[in-house]
Amino acid sequence: KAGVTQTPRYLIKTRGQQVTLSCSPISGHRSVSWYQQTPGQGLQFLFEYFSETQRNKGNFPGRFSGRQFSNSRSEMNVSTLELGDSALYLCASSPRGLSEDGYTFGSGTRLTVV
């Protein structure tokens, strides 16, 4: 059974550009969550999608957006990149997004903004 796949694994972008990250959940999982991990702030919740609907959003500016497709794959987009957006972005999938289901994380996308 394939795990959660995040692409690309590494990305270098210039300040002011935009970036799109992709997450393919485990087959059959309909919930996808995104987290930003930085040394200073730790792991912070970005948003969660279930069946193409955003159910939760974290405290991030509007430059951070996401979407989920009918096959449950999800993308997150960051526009007008800032140096502070450099981070490891992790995606997690779950059958229904319920705690008793558990979450499976991908290996993340390391974004560096220069």
Task: Give the binding site for another protein (CB under 8 A).
Answer: 31, 33, 35, 42-43, 45, 48, 50, 55-56, 58, 88, 90, 92, 97-100, 102-108, 110
CB closer to another protein out of 18 and 51: 51
Instruction: Kindly state the tokens that stand for 1.
Output: 């059974």
CB closer to another protein out of 18 and 41: 41
CB of 79 to another protein, least distance (A): 22
CB closer to another protein out of 18 and 27: 27
CB closer to another protein out of 16 and 84: 84
Is the preceding omega at residue 8 within 30 degrees of 0, hence cis?
Answer: yes
d(CA 29, CA 51): 10
CB of 16 to another protein, least distance (A): 27
d(CA 2, CA 9): 17
CB of 114 to another protein, least distance (A): 21
d(CA 64, CA 82): 11
Closest to 32 measured CA to CA, from 89, 98, 92: 92
CB of 107 to another protein, least distance (A): 4
68 contacts 56 by C-beta, under 8 angstroms: no
